Structure 1
């Protein structure tokens, strides 16, 4: 439901008095000028959904200390309340499709020490770069490095320059990570480990990403200055889990596999499709001998 079609609704401030055993509360597609003050009495609430709604002040949510799941997906929030950082039991935070969200105060995300799942697809937060200012008012991506339990991450970052080294943890089991301004989040993506990367000159970031991101199933590369092939330049193990690579807009790209330099045993064994676009200097799919196991599942 589009938020502009929602009529203003009212919930009496005393509505939740006596509901102390409530575990799940769903306020999906509602237009509330304010959340009822008795919300803070829900001392056992574990799940709160505010998806696709229009809300005023939601800082009272910080009083719900037992909360484990909090979802704002598609809502109108413009700034995440600092009080959210008090939810130290939170395991899942969903900020996907919050088109108006620009500001997350500093140290809010890093305070969510038990967070396991963070969803921020098609949400374009204004991240600060760590180290530029002694005092930060807004969150930096460096804070995600402090979330030691984080295993599921969906995030869209338009400016690769805000990425700190060591951000992408080997502990991630499921991820959709889009870096650069090229990518459309609405594409139908079927796999659980997806990386879309647009870089033109951040060499350290390229090395950092592929050193950390093992088990990639879908890989999209745009520009990637200096990358002449996928295997050897990016992953000498031959991307054994990769199913769907798409490489585009790279005048430096010469081969998909350069087996003259290195012959991986499992190069593209899981590959189902291969898309090559606007690679004006592409010479060969494979430079050198190709192992029999490679491309054995390729259909498209």
Structure 2
């Protein structure tokens, strides 16, 4: 049934004046023999070495290839024959260790996705020449060690995704703050060596959270990992619009007991993961207080000086919170200070409260949750009473 639906869709697309070529068995059929009238080509899987010499696709705007092998010569042929290309996606392609200079010929390129190009190391040679680029994604390019300063030249860049670039160790100071149009930044399981103070020489300085926060007047999505929430400047006010989505964590790999936490895709709920911290310290940080009020999924692990979730962390209630997870917080006594929350609802949208521990009895002082009847009714699971 799936094949029938796919074939009908392909036939319908072929009658469109904006011609589409979509093949999911491209390893058998290879590159099309006639291609100059297509605006969109998607071939899965494909051997990029099969691209014909003299290729000319004057109308092509989108090219999506998934395969295993790559050659620089084939990339040169592509770039010279596809001058109007706006979207280029090379997915799970091996053999790409560096971006060729010929990529700079694609002056109309708006989106460049190299997700899963596991051999990619050097992206500096051509990236700064793509002046009109708006979306740049290197998801799961685990051999990239450094973001080149040339990325800072991309003044129209709206989305940067370096998720799962787990060996990335250097982002030059000033690169992120120069991205004056950036709206979405995805850095989960990636760079963590944020600069806290300017102690190094200029050429050795790293990106800082102050730079990230300087983007807040136009940033819509922020996904980052940090070593400590104290790296946020205490007196910096978040000026971003109310619709900002975020996932910010200082959790290290393996620290979350009973499963992992990940955004997984571009659609996710606002999440904070705070581990190994002092509640009295991180709640002095203005940005953290603002994020608490917007948080929908909150994970607290091994927090010192945490007697109440509400009272010590937030005086106005967590009005958007749906999931609360508390792990190994031995000082906690109440989720809510009952004396302060008799007339209002602390967690009006709560769906799940989980108390978990790596060691039995990690919350020995816990006495009561002090939840309203409506809050108790909303709970789907976990320990809510």
Interval containing the TM-score (normalised by the shorter chain): 0.7 to 0.9
CA–CA distance in structure 1, aligned partners of residues 343 and 128 of structure 2: 51
**What's the counterpart of residue 35 of structure 1?**
99
Determine if contact 1:169/1:212 at 8 Å carries over to the other structure: no
Determine if contact 1:101/1:123 at 8 Å carries over to the other structure: yes
Please, which of 119, 122, 125 is the counterpart of residue 57 of structure 1? Answer: 122
Q: Does 1:68 align with 2:134?
A: yes
Distance verdict in 2 for CA 1:291–1:57, change over 3 Å: closer
Measured after TM superposition, the shift of residue 237 of structure 1 is 2.3
* Higher alpha-carbon deviation: 115-124 or 208-217: 208-217
**What's the counterpart of residue 273 of structure 1?**
352
Measured after TM superposition, the shift of residue 132 of structure 1 is 3.6
Name the SS for the 2:172 alignment partner: coil
Measured after TM superposition, the shift of residue 204 of structure 1 is 3.3
**What's the counterpart of residue 26 of structure 1?**
89
Name the SS for the 1:296 alignment partner: helix
**What's the counterpart of residue 184 of structure 2?**
117
Determine if contact 2:280/2:312 at 8 Å carries over to the other structure: no
Name the SS for the 1:268 alignment partner: coil
Please, which of 180, 201, 207 is the counterpart of residue 278 of structure 2? Answer: 201
Length-normalised TM-score, structure 2:
0.69
Query: Any gaps of 5 or more consecutive residues in structure 1?
Result: none
**What's the counterpart of residue 227 of structure 1?**
306
What is the number of residues matched between the two proteins? 294
Name the SS for the 1:63 alignment partner: coil
Query: Any gaps of 5 or more consecutive residues in structure 2?
Result: 1-44, 46-66, 357-361
CA–CA distance in structure 2, aligned partners of residues 70 and 96 of structure 1: 11
Measured after TM superposition, the shift of residue 156 of structure 1 is 1.7
* Higher alpha-carbon deviation: 128-137 or 26-35: 128-137
Higher relative contact order (CA 8 A, sep 6+): 1
Distance verdict in 2 for CA 1:183–1:6, change over 3 Å: farther
Distance verdict in 2 for CA 1:264–1:92, change over 3 Å: farther
Q: Does 1:192 align with 2:269?
A: yes
CA–CA distance in structure 2, aligned partners of residues 91 and 58 of structure 1: 18
Report matched runs for 1:203-218 at 5 Å: 203-208=280-285, 209-213=287-291, 214-218=293-297
Q: Does 1:299 align with 2:380?
A: yes
CA–CA distance in structure 2, aligned partners of residues 203 and 295 of structure 1: 28
Q: Does 1:282 align with 2:366?
A: yes
What are the superposed Cα offsets for residues 82-112 of structure 1, whole Å, 9 maximum, x if unpaired? 1000001000000000111111111111111
Name the SS for the 1:196 alignment partner: strand
Measured after TM superposition, the shift of residue 186 of structure 1 is 4.4
Report matched runs for 1:75-94 at 5 Å: 75=141, 76-94=143-161
Q: Does 1:141 align with 2:209?
A: yes
Runs of 4+ in 1 over 4 A off after TM superposition: 5-8, 167-170, 183-186, 188-191
CA–CA distance in structure 2, aligned partners of residues 295 and 241 of structure 1: 16
Distance verdict in 2 for CA 1:215–1:137, change over 3 Å: closer
CA–CA distance in structure 1, aligned partners of residues 240 and 256 of structure 2: 24
What are the superposed Cα offsets for residues 222-271 of structure 1, whole Å, 9 maximum, x if unpaired? 12211211122112222122111011222221101102134462222211
Determine if contact 2:116/2:138 at 8 Å carries over to the other structure: yes
Q: Does 1:249 align with 2:320?
A: no
Distance verdict in 2 for CA 1:284–1:51, change over 3 Å: same
**What's the counterpart of residue 178 of structure 1?**
249
Q: Does 1:260 align with 2:339?
A: yes
**Higher helix fraction (1 or 2):** 2
CA–CA distance in structure 1, aligned partners of residues 279 and 351 of structure 2: 29
**What's the counterpart of residue 151 of structure 1?**
220
Measured after TM superposition, the shift of residue 174 of structure 1 is 1.3
Determine if contact 1:255/1:284 at 8 Å carries over to the other structure: yes
CA–CA distance in structure 2, aligned partners of residues 248 and 33 of structure 1: 42
What are the superposed Cα offsets for residues 16-74 of structure 1, whole Å, 9 maximum, x if unpaired? 12533110011222222332322111111100001111224311111101000000000
* Higher alpha-carbon deviation: 104-113 or 210-219: 210-219
